[in-house]
Amino acid sequence: MDQLKPMDTTDTLLYLTRRVLQALAVILIVTIVVFCLLHALPGGPARGILGPQATGEQIAAFNHEQGLDRPLPVQYVYYLNTLLHGDLGTSYTLNEAVLRLIEQRLPKTLVLTVLSALVGLLLAVPLGMWQAVRRNKPADYVITTLSFVAYSTPVYFLGLILVLLFTQTLRWFPSQAPQGDTLAQVFADPAALVLPVVTGAASMIAVFSRYMRAATLENLSEDYVRTARAGGSRQGAILFRHVFRNSLTPVIAMLGYYVPVLFGGALVVEQLFNYPGMGLLFWSAAQSSDYPVLLGCVLVISVATVVGTLVADVVQRVVDPRVKGGRA
């Protein structure tokens, strides 16, 4: 073929449109599944909210008032309708609009997860590359072992150990995350952020250093590395000019899929450090069967996941000129 294949902008637009439509479909399906699962739970929210002393009539009245006595599909359509009007419902227990609650909490969780992800990546990527270069040498074995330990330790357990070590024994950091409603207040106390961020980043470092190590090893054995060496390029230049970028592409793709894991981690971290974000909100809503809040949280997490994979795919398209339209 003698023609240069141009990177078509209409191609990219088509691709984006298709992906966004797919994303919407995914979110819709997620809401259906979660809605059905929640309502299939025995007991329902009334008992939790009205307390053990509530009479049958009181519970029936609550269910009627909240529309919980209507058929499930009707409830769902009603929910979807309010959702499309930008209304996520009202919390049963906190007496506040779910949207408002999420507005307050989401930025804080975003700060926590984005910081954890950044710290995790910034450590994992060089670590993985270094391991690949020193493959099967003592350093590689030590880091590999630590990775497996970090990966297989439950987040709450790791968090507790960190709390014990750094707040009780060493007294370096406070045991509570920054309290306060605004982001400014959160950032005003950076020392208090250290432990939550490190706890959130630990498994990320473990997982992504493994990805990066594997990707780097694979690329180091590629023919183009030999070509670069044959052209007189030194090891360092080969690593940073060629291998780094080629190894990063598959890792970027994994990042999108990691968003729900990060949110799952935030759930535990926020609980541990008493950090009033989405995780804590979700936690308390789950304990009190606060359906509107639970649904709102799941919606936010699924949107974040879908957006995360979408962004990862788009970034990959930008970084790697070979990735074209493709079938998603």
Partner 1 sequence: MMKGLKGLNILEMADLGVTFTTDTGDVPAVRDVSLHVRPGETLALVGESGSGKSTVALAALGLLPGNARASGRVTVDGTDVVAAGEAELARLRGRTASMVFQEPATALDPLTRIGRQIAEVVRNHRPVSRAEAAREAVELLRRVGIPEPERRASAFPFQLSGGQRQRVVIAMAIANSPGLLIADEPTTALDVTVQAEILDLLRELAVDSGTGVLLVTHNMGVVADFADRVAVMLRGEVVETGPVEEVLLRPTHEYTRRLLAAVPRLMLSGEGPPPSGPPEEPAVVRLRDVSVRFGRGRGAVRALEGVSLDVHPGETVGLVGESGSGKSTAARAALGLVVPDDGSVSLFGTDLNRARGRARRALLAGVGLVLQDPVASLDARMSVAECVAEPLRMHRRGMSAAERRERIAEVLELVRLPRELAGRGPRELSGGQRQRVSLARALVLRPRLLVADEPTSALDVSVQRTVLEVIAELQRELGFACLFVSHDLAVVQEFAQRVVVMRAGRIEEQGPTMTTLLRPETEYTRRLIAAVPVPDPVEQRRRRTADRTGATA
- Regarding 230 and contact with partner 1 (CB under 8 A), the answer is yes
* Biggest distance spanned by C-alpha atoms of the chain: 85
Query: What is the spatial distance between Cα 298 and Cα 137, in angstroms, rounded to a whole number?
Result: 44
CA distances from 75 to 93, 225, 294 (A): 20, 60, 15
Q: Which two tokens stand for residue 140?
A: 């590689």
Q: Which is nearer to partner 1, 2 or 57 (CB)?
A: 2
Q: Which is nearer to partner 1, 85 or 234 (CB)?
A: 234
- Regarding 12 and contact with partner 1 (CB under 8 A), the answer is no
Distance of alpha carbon 243 from the chain centroid: 27
Options 227, 240, 274, 318; binder of partner 1; rule CB under 8 A: 227
Cβ–Cβ under 8 Å, residues 175 and 275: no
Cβ-based neighbours of 301, under 8 Å, separated by 6 or more? 260, 263, 278
Q: Choose the binding region for partner 1 from 21-29, 54-62, 227-235, 278-286 (rule: CB under 8 A).
A: 227-235
Options 226, 287, 318, 328; binder of partner 1; rule CB under 8 A: 226
Options 86, 95, 223, 326; binder of partner 1; rule CB under 8 A: 223
Q: CB of 224: closest distance to partner 1 in angstroms?
A: 4
Residues that bind partner 1 (rule: CB under 8 A) add up to a total of 27
For residues 231-260, which are near partner 1 according to CB under 8 A?
A: 231-235, 237, 241-242, 245-246, 249
Q: CB of 246: closest distance to partner 1 in angstroms?
A: 6
DSSP one-letter string for 264-275: HHHHHHHHHHT-
Q: Which two tokens stand for residue 174?
A: 């406070």
Query: What is the spatial distance between Cα 16 and Cα 22, in angstroms, rounded to a whole number?
Result: 10
Q: CB of 238: closest distance to partner 1 in angstroms?
A: 9
Give residues in contact with partner 1 (CB under 8 A). Answer: 1-2, 4-5, 222-224, 226-235, 237, 241-242, 245-246, 249, 319-322
